[in-house]
Amino acid sequence: MSELASEPSNTASVLIAGVGNIFLGDDGFGVEVARRLSTVELPAGVEVRDYGVSGMHLAFDLVDGYDTTILVDATSRGDAPGTVYVVELDPVTEPAPSVDAHGMQPDLVMGLLAMLGGHCPRVLLVGCEPASVTDHIGLSPLVAAAVDAAVRTVLELVEVCDVPGHSR
C-alpha cells in the first residue's frame, strides 16, 4: 500500500443520490428531492445527483469512493403514504448475481458495486412511502407534501456526516 493511500482522509465525502422512475408516479420521489437539493448550497465534499433509473451509473460513481451515500427513494414499507423515514442499510459485499443496467434496488446497486471491486462504508436510505406507482407522471399529493420533509432530513444527515467546513 502506498503512503498516500494509508493516510487518513481529511475530507468526508457524501453522495446524495436521488433515484426513481418519474414515469411511475410516486416512484419519482427521489428524483424530485434531488432536484430540490440541487438548488441548496451544500458544503464542499457533498454532491447531489439525480440517477433516475440508472443503477449502473450510480454503481460506477460509487467506485470513486464516498464515506457516506444517502439514497433517496420511494420505498414501500407498509406505512401511511407520505411517511418519510431513514434506514441505515447493511453493507453488501457479495457481487450481484446478474446485472440490470436500470435496476435501482439498493441491494442490486451495492452488489454491482461489489462486482466492480468497490464498497460503500455507510449507506443511508431516506425513503418515502408511496401512494401510487402506476404509469403516470407526477407525485401524489401526500408524497409531494413529503418532499420538503425529506430535504430537511437529508440536510440533517449531512450535518452529522462531519463534512469539513460545514458548520453545525
Domain boundaries, the chain: 9-159
* CA gap 115, 135 in Å, rounded: 32
Distance CA 16, CA 40 (A): 12
pLDDT (0 to 100) of residue 63: 77
What average pLDDT does the structure give for the chain? 80
Q: Look at strands 14-19 and 46-52 and give their pairing.
A: parallel
Question: Per residue in 104-162, pLDDT tens?
Answer: 566 666 666 666 666 677 889 899 999 999 899 999 999 999 999 999 999 999 988 76
Burial (Cβ within 10 Å: 0-12, 13-18, ≥19) of residue 99: middle
28-64 pLDDT per residue, tens = 999 999 999 999 999 889 999 998 887 777 777 777 7
- β-strands 46-52, 68-74: how paired? unpaired
Over its C-alpha atoms, the chain yields an Rg (Å, rounded) of 16
CA 107 – CA 42 distance, rounded (Å): 27
pLDDT of residue 141: 97
Name the superfamily (CATH) of residues 9-159. HybD-like (3.40.50.1450)
